[in-house]
Amino acid sequence: MGKKRNTLPTVAYFCMEFGLHESFPIYSGGLGILAGDILKEAKAGGYPMVGVGILWRQGYTSQRIDERGYPYDSYYEQRYDFLEDTGVVVRVRVRGRLIKCKVWKCTQFDNAPLYLLDANLPENEDRLITGQLYGWFSEERIAQEMILGIGGVRALQALNLPVSIYHFNDSHPVFAGVELIREMMDEEGLSFEEAWAKAKAKIIFTTHTPVKAGNEEHDHELLRYMGAYNGLTFGQMLRLGGEPFSMTVAGLRLARKANAVAQLHGETARRMWGDVPGTARIIAITNGVFRGTWQDERLAKAFARKEGLWAPHQQAKRELIAEIYRRNGVRLDEEVLTIGFARRVAPYKRGNLIFSKPEVIGEYLEKGRLQLVFAGKAHPNDLAGKEIITELYRMTKRYPQSVVFLEDYDMQLGRILTRGCDVWLNNPRRPQEASGTSGMKAAMNGVLNFSVLDGWWPEGCVHGVNGWQIGDGYEGKDQDAHDRDALYRVLRSEVIPTYYEDRDKWVAMMAASIEMAQQQFSTARMLKEYFAELYR
């Protein structure tokens, strides 16, 4: 299908996780799904790109809730029998031991080739390095990052793939930069300075984390012990990442150009990192989603032919309701306004904000005016996130006919929810949501966004026309109370009355939402900008 684009640079896109399909659980959430969508768009648009990642043998956590409402985690041995064996094996020295990694190739999901490193070989003592995605910290995390970065560069060479751009999606792959430098020093006899400058000309970095504490840092002693110095000296590593070694600073210093993932996030990221000496200029390229994966075909067709949108929407809503019944035994009502909230359960996303005044929201839930559908996993070590899940679980017991929580959020649930709900709620504590992409999926399906002005939404929102804003972008003291009151106000005075009393306006808003999402928030627009503004 793809057009030939011979004059474009060949890009190797490195990421810790890739979300291509629910049957291939080597992803955790937004970061990986973005990477998966990019590889699908690269294939569809004929862009010269390959992905580099890790074959997680036990995937990411499968998270369920016990009878008291506490989430618990399980990992399962996965079988990936659709992968192609490239025959290539690379070696990375970790903790003084050589780890052999097999390189697999995946083209199963209409994606540009994805090469995956796998340490699960009988001859390795440390077979589980590539076991669990984000399962471990500290030593094991560094080991995983060494396999991805150092192993990834070696794999591309062993495969004889000519690469002109190395794109690090978030900071996990930065040791690939250390490997490129070491190699030029060893093989071309360059000085550290010369090699760094030459590597920099080929490296692009994307930052995803406005939460400063969420940016990974490693102790130099530990890096040296693990072998992550990879032949460089303490002084050289210090110049790349500072002390402690900041993975984000290293990414920004290794790269010739960097990007944030929405316009507002660009401002936040420049405020955070702009003054750090030696870092790349951070531009903003807003994320997008791949239509082929996320847009309901029936709805897309109706929209393109200017036919009614309500019937295909209700069809998707009935499918959601059937899936909820199948999983939870609760039968929701297709005539009742249904709000969805599904995302990684992290405290800053405030999944429980809508319940912060039970007397306000309870009335709608009890009188059959509103249904709430939640889904999401907390990171296995995030106890505050897990408490939020427990609170949501309690709400499902308090309002058993109108509140549901779906366990084990994955791409399949994401797809069903972002088609079948009426409204998509998003209330992170601004400005901590870098982009957020589930709202783009919803918008593309005429599921109306109801969101604070964070992430991508300030760029898309026309209040009352294609969705609604919650609050006015306020940041500061009493932000939670401010946003909660705004949420209730807009819900009561605009969302609920429009749904029940002005169906024509609702459907017009759905059309405006689809138009906005198709124009502005697809990976087609995004990749065009990557090639025009980052890679050239």
Ligand X SMILES: *Cc1c(COP(=O)(O)O)cnc(C)c1O
Instruction: Enumerate binding residues for ligand X (CB under 6 A).
Output: 29-30, 33, 343-344, 409-411, 414, 436-439, 441
Question: How does DSSP classify residue 373?
Answer: E
Minimum CB–partner distance for residue 411 and ligand X (Å): 5
Question: 263: number of CA atoms within 13 Å, CB side?
Answer: 8
Helix, strand and coil in the chain, % to nearest 5: 45, 20, 40
Residue 497 CA to residue 486 CA, distance in Å, equals: 16
Quick one: 97 exposed, middle or buried, by C-beta within 10 A (0-12, 13-18, 19+)?
Answer: exposed
Question: 241: number of CA atoms within 13 Å, CB side?
Answer: 27
| Structural contact between residues 260 and 207, judged by C-beta atoms closer than 8 angstroms | yes
Residue 493, SS3 per DSSP: helix
| Structural contact between residues 249 and 270, judged by C-beta atoms closer than 8 angstroms | no
Phi, psi of 286 (to 5 degrees): -70, 140
Minimum CB–partner distance for residue 88 and ligand X (Å): 31
Q: Tell me whether residue 226 or residue 346 sits nearer to ligand X (CB atom).
A: 346
Alpha helices in 46-121 (DSSP H): none
Amino acid symbol at 536: R
Question: 93: number of CA atoms within 13 Å, CB side?
Answer: 9
Closest CA to 372 of 428, 412, 344, 333: 333
Cα-based angle 27, 346, 486 (whole degrees, multiple of 5): 125
Minimum CB–partner distance for residue 296 and ligand X (Å): 14
Alpha helices in 209-295 (DSSP H): 220-226, 234-241, 247-254, 263-273, 291-294
Q: Tell me whether residue 183 or residue 433 sits nearer to ligand X (CB atom).
A: 433
Cα dihedral 211, 212, 213, 216 sign: positive
Alpha-carbon distance values, 387 to 42, 199, 222, 378, 379 (Å)? 39, 44, 32, 9, 12
